[in-house]
Structure 1
Amino acid sequence: MDKKKRNKFGILGLNYDTEAGLGWPGARYAPDQIRESLKWILNRIRDNELFDTENNRLIDMSKVEIKDFGNLSKISRYNHEKSMNETKLEVDKVFDQGYVPILLGGDHSVAWPGIKSLYDHTKGNMGLIHLDTHLDLVEDSPIQGKYSGSSEIRRTAELERVKGENIVQVGIRGYNYAEHYHFIKDNNINVINPELFFTKGAKYVAQKSLELASKGVEKIYFTLDIDVLDSAFAPGSGANEPGGISTYQLFKFVKEVAPYVDAIDIVEVNPMTDYRNMTSTVASKIIMDFIVANYYALIE
């Protein structure tokens, strides 16, 4: 798969955490806090130039358009499935205006409208790269229903033009339901544990993820749950798990996959449980790393 040439990026805040029934609520406040953290980077742009110290390069920001589409304004929070449909319509607008969506959650249920929107804007098969500590393969739940933040990958796997072998779940750790083991095996879903980051490196994991997700597909969706990070690096998340990857490894992964994916969401950042906005700051750098990696692909 070749790098894509894009220079228009649309930020949309999915300020919704109604489905945080099993984790900490508060992710609805993340989009605004991430934007505040992003200002620390944007304020350093002078005369359309920004110094990328990690690559020792100057970035010409005049070649990039970043449009903020605001937050969700009119969604029916009393009805979750209706809210998901209304959210998808907002994501559709970002695609329809020619922007690469950068979606800021919100709990992980908001990934489903993003996934479904890209799917509906794709004629052929679609791949999925999923960074998370959890599998999110719950079939149904009496507490959360079928379209929760624990089910969005299950719903994706059920889509006709998404094959299991093009779903790559990265950073998965801990313990889960035995039923998920069988579902993964039966559907040929790829699961990569954090250990591979430490033994092979983030660049290797990113390239492997792209190799698997891109086979025979037209587009790739990238969903990033911030709890893929070890708890020490992301105190402000909906459901912390120990044993995750580092911020350096996450940033490296994002930079590698950014020019190949067609939409990204960053979910489960929770300002209510964060410490001095550490986790929102991580999310803001992910946004810039994603844009800058696409900028380099554009000018090379």
Structure 2
Amino acid sequence: MLKESKKNKFGILGLDYDTSAGLGWPGARYAPDQIRQSLKWILNRIRDNEIFDTEKNRLVDMSKVEIRDFGNLSISRYDHEKSGEEMKQQIDQVIDAGFSPILLGGDHSVTWPGIRSLYEHTEGKMGIIHLDTHLDLVEDSAVQGKFSGSSEIRRAAELERVDGNNIVQIGIRGYNYAEHYHFIKENNLHVITPDAFFEEGAAQVAKKAVEWASEGVDKIYFTLDIDVLDSAFAPGSGANEPGGISTWQLFKFVKEVAPYVDVFDIVEVNPMTDYRNMTSTVAAKLIFDYIVTNYYTCC
């Protein structure tokens, strides 16, 4: 299994873009700023470089953690593919500055520029951990094209140094196109449904995900679509589906996989459909859990 990725420098970049949300609810472009507002509720509890982690009953020394906010995107929003290239360049800048990117979407199309950026910063093979209710394996769409939030995993699977057996899709549920069944079988993708969380536990699911995604790879990209949660826990998302996992299960999963991944994105949080910022607050907690977990791995 891949060794833990030691990191204590995190670069937050807001990917405030939802142009490809042609089939779901638009509004995810407003998520980065709202997630930042929710994150402030946690950050303002840091005093003298310490914060109390009540869940672990421990004090966390934040003096060795650097969090830099790189702001939101500056892109040509009139051209989807050009926008994607400009997103990638700005994610490149975060990596080149020595920070591990935390990317705040935006709809799920923003993951493709993130994947491409890490891919080009990886000499060997790259794995992908993908939490979502949907497979995002659409080959092409008359409505959304080839580079939408329904296609980013399909595009990733086409990359030369990404093998299907290093792609793990978790939380998938409901019904989908028959063509996707054949694509998964032919390319050896791993698919884990919410049942596994309830039957085996989040820690065991995370262990499988890391084992499969990391086999023979140098780096792992981690993309989290907030609709992996049951609709009751995430009213503010682009395309709700019933029957998802709980916030506790998701928090547990992220803490388990955090030390092994190199780029982390959270997408499809939608303040326009949210209730009292419940979903943005979940995203903020996930980000801080990710940072703190990596701190204990690194320093």
TM range (shorter): over 0.9
Given the alignment of the two structures, is residue 221 of structure 1 paired with residue 221 of structure 2, yes or no?
Answer: yes
1:124-171 per-position Cα deviation (integer Å, ceiling 9, x unaligned): 000000000000000000100000000000000000000000000000
Moved over 3 A (4+): none
Partners in 2 of 1:267 and 1:3 — Cα distance? 24
Please show how residues 1-300 of structure 1 align to structure 2 within 5 Å: 1-73=2-74, 75-299=75-299
TM-score of the superposed pair, with normalisation by structure 1: 0.99
Alpha-carbon shift at residue 241 of structure 1 (Å): 0.2
Instruction: Give the aligned residue type for 2:174.
Output: G
Structure 1, unaligned stretches of length 5 or more? none
> What is the aligned-residue identity percentage?
79
Residue 68 of structure 1 aligns to a residue whose secondary structure is: strand
Alpha-carbon shift at residue 4 of structure 1 (Å): 2.1
Partners in 2 of 1:298 and 1:149 — Cα distance? 33
Partners in 2 of 1:144 and 1:298 — Cα distance? 41
Instruction: Give the aligned residue type for 1:28.
Output: R
Partners in 2 of 1:188 and 1:4 — Cα distance? 25
Partners in 2 of 1:215 and 1:149 — Cα distance? 26
Instruction: Give the aligned residue type for 1:15.
Output: D
1:182-208 per-position Cα deviation (integer Å, ceiling 9, x unaligned): 000000000000000000000000000
Alpha-carbon shift at residue 76 of structure 1 (Å): 1.2
How many residue pairs end up in the alignment? 298
Partners in 1 of 2:46 and 2:72 — Cα distance? 24
What is the RMSD of the two structures over their aligned residues, measured on CA atoms?
Answer: 0.5
TM-score of the superposed pair, with normalisation by structure 2: 0.99
1:8-34 per-position Cα deviation (integer Å, ceiling 9, x unaligned): 000000000000000000000000000
Partners in 1 of 2:21 and 2:62 — Cα distance? 37
Structure 2, unaligned stretches of length 5 or more? none
Alpha-carbon shift at residue 214 of structure 1 (Å): 0.3
Instruction: Give the aligned residue type for 1:35.
Output: R
Partners in 2 of 1:223 and 1:290 — Cα distance? 13
Partners in 2 of 1:196 and 1:40 — Cα distance? 32
Residue 69 of structure 1 aligns to a residue whose secondary structure is: strand
Partners in 1 of 2:23 and 2:104 — Cα distance? 20
1:251-278 per-position Cα deviation (integer Å, ceiling 9, x unaligned): 0000000000000000000000000000
Instruction: Give the aligned residue type for 1:11.
Output: I
Residue 243 of structure 2 aligns to a residue whose secondary structure is: coil
Partners in 2 of 1:164 and 1:298 — Cα distance? 30
Instruction: Give the aligned residue type for 2:270.
Output: N
